Structure 1
Amino acid sequence: MELHVVINGRKDLAGQLYRQLRGAIEGGRLAAGMQLPPSRLLAEQLGISRKTISDIYAQLTYENFLIGRVGKGTYVNARPSKASRRRNVSDLACADSINTWLSLPSPLPDPAQAGTVRYDFVGGATHKSQFPHDEWRRCTQYALRQMQRAAGFYSQPEGLPALRGAIAQHIAFCRGVVCREENVVVCNGTQQALDLISRVVLVSGSIVAVEDPGYPPARMLFTSQGATVVGVAVDEEGLRVDLIPDGTRLIYVTPAHQFPMGMPMSSARRTALLKRAKELGAIIIEDDYDSEFRYEDLPTDSLQSMDEHGNVIFVGTFSKTMLPELRLGYAVLPPSIHEAIVKAKQVMDWHTSILAQWALAKFMTDGKLQKHIRRGHTIYAGRRERILNRLNGDLSAWLEAIHITAGFHITARFKHPIDLDLLIELCRKVEVSLYSIERFFYQTTPQCGLLIGFGSIETLDIDPALDRLHDILMQLDAR
């Protein structure tokens, strides 16, 4: 790879090269520790004598910009780089748009902070130690062999047929979703599925109804598309269908395991929601983010399986069952919107990584995903039971757990007023991370409670962590 240096004319060759190298080092384009080409190679590249190159290297070494290592070569020396010149945002024509994005709050806990304490009840995350890395590695090797046999061009925007077929079988078996391979579009996680849908369905000012409390990244995404996002309250049966405003074009719900409160949507409420969507001509996004892990009661029908008019898009992810870093999800689309979504996917990023798709297809068709889910279910069921025993036991004086039947987080509301920020701060000082549900409320009055995730905390760590929470609650009461 050649060093990018531009020589204009044949005058002052040494000066041109010296100024460019020094400027690149000062500006940070040539980073500390980067090796420069040997003087012979650079001389051949630029058509300059080798002695001139050597003299310039020597001068920059004398000035402490470069450092020579005997037998190894010439390297950029570590030194502070000059601050790059940046134009003020206010000078740009797009300043309003930039400031709108900058003003958005962080939608979820900072991933960089997660896992920095000993006992972390972060929601929506699993521990990597539970993932079958060896089996996934073999699937990845299989994927590389498949790619080696391929023509080497771009693939289908909707995803590999092998993976779409495996997904269709999986969700038909686990969730009763009515679909075939041609109804599935593979996405880079749920968030891209939501983005694709909103790009196709919404125009500026369109009304979107979301659960309140609900999932902030979805709400923020719809807002970024120029939609008017309306928070619709939830109760013990799920979304209040009677509060969905006229003119709504898109409805976003999590009926199997309401995020963040945890209750499933009742059958009567599901029927009412489908009826209301038909009246409005609205699209329903059914986000089925973690319902593979079910602990009690019979599974409820998915909205998609109850839909007789093509209003429901079923969206799922492998971030919860596998690893978030894989960024693999899918959408099951009714015929009316399928072609438009596929075109939007192609325009946005053409297709999701083929390596990851082949590996996941192999992982699923070999039965590895179901095996992994069964293994995880046993672990999560034990953790859920431990937490519920404590919430219904010595912690019941302060907290009331909302009944959940699926997923791997529990929401518990405080029975009495408490300084929740202080509680979270004190818990973090004793190596326990807790998370408030307040950030999930949008237009309805926030409730005081905790979202207690049990996907990533070790089972044997739950009781010691909750012991510390109990002690701090006792101390706060004493005050």
Structure 2
Amino acid sequence: MELHVVINGRKDLAGQLYNQLRSAIESGRLAAGTQLPPSRLLAEQLGISRKTISDTYAQLTYENFLTGVIGKGTFVNTRPAKAQPKQSHTQLASAEVIESWRNLPVFLRHPTLEGSLRYDFIGGATSKGQFPQDDWRRCTAHALRQIAGSKGFYSLPEGLPALRNAIARHIAFSRGVNCQDEDVVVCNGAQQALDLISRVMTRPGSIVAMEDPGYPPARLLFGSHGATVVGVPVDAEGIQVDKIPDGTRLIYVTPSHQFPLGIAMSQARRAALLERARELGAIIIEDDYDSEFRYEGRPTDSLQSMDEHGIVAYVGTFSKTLLPELRLGYMILPPAILDAVVRAKQLTDLHTSTLPQWALAKFIAEGCLLKHIRRCHTIYAGRRERLLSRVAGDLAPWLEAIPSTAGFHMTLRCKTPIDMPLLVELAKKVEVGLYPIEPFYYQQTPQAGLLMGFGAIETLDIDTALDRLRDLLQQVA
């Protein structure tokens, strides 16, 4: 790679070279430790004499911008970067728009490795130790071979045919979803799926109805598109359909494992929701984020499998079953919006990275995903039982579990008044991560409770963490 230096004309060649190199070093564009080209090579590149290059290097070395290492070459010295005044966002014509984005709250951000706690009940995260590294490594090697044999063109915005086929077969088997390969669109996690559907379904002022309490990133995303988000209350059967307002264009629900409460929507409520959406001419987004893990009772049908009118967009993710870092999700779209969403995706990112797509297609086709889900199901079932046992035992004076039969989080409702912010802060001091449910409420009156994820905490750590929680509850309740 050539060093970016521009020489104009034939006057003051040394001065031009000196000023450009010094400016690049002071600004940090040439980072400390960067090796500069040998004088002979740079002279050929710029079409000037080698002596000019050598003299400039010598001057910059004398001024401590460069350093020479015998037998290795000339390197940029370590220096503090020169601070350049940058324009503030308040000085831009789009200051108001930028400020609105800067003021958005941050929800459900996972901690970095350095900021993680020893015993963390965070939701939406899995134990990385359960991930089948050997199987995935083999599938990734297969993916590299597929890419090596390709022509190097951009791929399809809707995803690789092999992966779309694997997804269609998998969710038909595991969730009873009624779809063909051409209904599947691969995306970068469920959040991109929500973004793309919202882009083609809403305009500023459009009404979007969603469960309240509900998933804050979805609410914030819909709002960022200018939609008017209406929080619809949830009862023991799910979203209260009769309170979905007229004029609604989009309805977002989590029927199989309501987020964050964990309840499953009843069959009667599902039928009523489908009828209400048909009356409104609205599309329902069914976010089926973790219902592949079911522990008791009969499996519930997906809302999409009950849809006879093509009004349900089914959204799934592999972040919960595999790893969040993969950023792979999918949509099963009704014909009415399929083409529009595919075009929106092409404008957004052209297509999802093909390397993980090839790997995941083989991973699913060979049965590795189902094997992994079964193995994790056994582990999560044990953690869930341990958590329920403790809540029914020594934690019973303060907390009760909301009935939940799927996923890998449950919600505990407070039975007595608890200073929740104080509890959370005290828990951090003893290395326990707790997450109140109050921030998940939007327009409804919040209830006090805790969202207890058991996907990331190790089974043997649960009792130790709950012992510390019990001791803290005795102090603050």
Shorter-normalised TM range = over 0.9
Give the Å deviation of 1:189. Answer: 0.7
Contact 2:177–2:305, Cα closer than 8 Å, also in 1: yes
Q: Which amino acid aligns with 1:92?
A: L
Aligned pairs (5 A) from 1:197-276: 197-276=197-276
Within 2, Cα distance between the matches of 1:446 and 1:422? 17
The aligned counterpart of 2:52 is: 52
Within 1, Cα distance between the matches of 2:414 and 2:68? 65
The aligned counterpart of 2:453 is: 453
CA deviation digits over 1:232-284, x for unaligned, max 9? Answer: 11111111111111000000000000011111111111111001101100000
| Secondary structure in structure 1 of the residue aligned to 2:67 | strand
The aligned counterpart of 1:184 is: 184
| Secondary structure in structure 2 of the residue aligned to 1:322 | coil
The aligned counterpart of 1:329 is: 329
The aligned counterpart of 2:355 is: 355
Give the Å deviation of 1:54. Answer: 1.7
Q: Which amino acid aligns with 1:351?
A: H
Within 2, Cα distance between the matches of 1:112 and 1:447? 29
Aligned pairs (5 A) from 1:41-190: 41-112=41-112, 116-190=116-190
Unaligned runs of 5+ in 2: none
| Secondary structure in structure 2 of the residue aligned to 1:193 | helix
Question: How many aligned positions are there?
Answer: 477
TM-score by length of 1: 0.98
Within 1, Cα distance between the matches of 2:97 and 2:251? 25
The aligned counterpart of 1:441 is: 441
| Secondary structure in structure 2 of the residue aligned to 1:140 | helix
| Secondary structure in structure 1 of the residue aligned to 2:439 | helix
Q: Which amino acid aligns with 1:73?
A: G
The aligned counterpart of 1:414 is: 414
Give the Å deviation of 1:375. Answer: 0.4
Moved more, 362-371 or 18-27: 18-27
Residue 285 of structure 1 pairs with residue 285 of structure 2: yes
Q: Which amino acid aligns with 1:165?
A: N
| Secondary structure in structure 1 of the residue aligned to 2:78 | coil
Within 2, Cα distance between the matches of 1:313 and 1:115? 36
Within 2, Cα distance between the matches of 1:109 and 1:396? 30
The aligned counterpart of 1:379 is: 379
Contact 1:114–1:120, Cα closer than 8 Å, also in 2: no
Within 1, Cα distance between the matches of 2:211 and 2:83? 45
Give the Å deviation of 1:115. Answer: 6.1
Give the Å deviation of 1:43. Answer: 1.2
Aligned pairs (5 A) from 1:301-340: 301-340=301-340
Contact 2:256–2:302, Cα closer than 8 Å, also in 1: yes
Within 2, Cα distance between the matches of 1:84 and 1:415? 56
| Secondary structure in structure 1 of the residue aligned to 2:465 | helix
Within 2, Cα distance between the matches of 1:114 and 1:309? 49
CA deviation digits over 1:410-430, x for unaligned, max 9? Answer: 111111111111111111111
Contact 1:256–1:291, Cα closer than 8 Å, also in 2: yes
Contact 1:30–1:76, Cα closer than 8 Å, also in 2: yes
Give the Å deviation of 1:151. Answer: 2.0
Q: Which amino acid aligns with 1:342?
A: V
Contact 1:200–1:340, Cα closer than 8 Å, also in 2: yes
CA deviation digits over 1:128-157, x for unaligned, max 9? Answer: 111001110100111111122222211221
Within 1, Cα distance between the matches of 2:228 and 2:203? 10
Contact 1:185–1:331, Cα closer than 8 Å, also in 2: yes
The aligned counterpart of 2:32 is: 32
CA deviation digits over 1:56-106, x for unaligned, max 9? Answer: 222222222122222222111122112233212122111111111111010
Residue 394 of structure 1 pairs with residue 394 of structure 2: yes
The aligned counterpart of 2:298 is: 298
CA deviation digits over 1:356-391, x for unaligned, max 9? Answer: 111100000000000000000000000001111111
Within 1, Cα distance between the matches of 2:113 and 2:248? 37
TM-score by length of 2: 0.98
Q: Indicate how the Cα distance of structure 1 residues 33 and 114 shifts in structure 2: closer, same or farther if over 3 A, else same.
A: closer
Give the Å deviation of 1:45. Answer: 1.0
Within 2, Cα distance between the matches of 1:342 and 1:152? 21
Q: Indicate how the Cα distance of structure 1 residues 358 and 339 shifts in structure 2: closer, same or farther if over 3 A, else same.
A: same
Contact 1:114–1:122, Cα closer than 8 Å, also in 2: no
How large is the RMSD of aligned CA atoms in angstroms?
1.2
Moved more, 177-186 or 345-354: 345-354
Moved more, 13-22 or 85-94: 85-94
CA deviation digits over 1:292-350, x for unaligned, max 9? Answer: 10000101111101111111000000000001111111000111111111111111111
Within 1, Cα distance between the matches of 2:61 and 2:436? 55
Within 1, Cα distance between the matches of 2:296 and 2:210? 27
Q: Indicate how the Cα distance of structure 1 residues 88 and 115 shifts in structure 2: closer, same or farther if over 3 A, else same.
A: closer
| Secondary structure in structure 2 of the residue aligned to 1:450 | strand
Contact 2:422–2:476, Cα closer than 8 Å, also in 1: no
Q: Indicate how the Cα distance of structure 1 residues 195 and 278 shifts in structure 2: closer, same or farther if over 3 A, else same.
A: same
Within 1, Cα distance between the matches of 2:54 and 2:233? 73
The aligned counterpart of 1:2 is: 2
| Secondary structure in structure 2 of the residue aligned to 1:443 | coil
Identity of counterpart residues, as a percentage? 72
Q: Which amino acid aligns with 2:42?
A: L
CA deviation digits over 1:110-129, x for unaligned, max 9? Answer: 43278622111111001211
Contact 2:398–2:414, Cα closer than 8 Å, also in 1: yes
Within 2, Cα distance between the matches of 1:257 and 1:124? 12
Give the Å deviation of 1:39. Answer: 1.4
Within 1, Cα distance between the matches of 2:449 and 2:55? 69
| Secondary structure in structure 2 of the residue aligned to 1:249 | strand
Q: Indicate how the Cα distance of structure 1 residues 137 and 113 shifts in structure 2: closer, same or farther if over 3 A, else same.
A: closer
Moved more, 208-217 or 112-121: 112-121
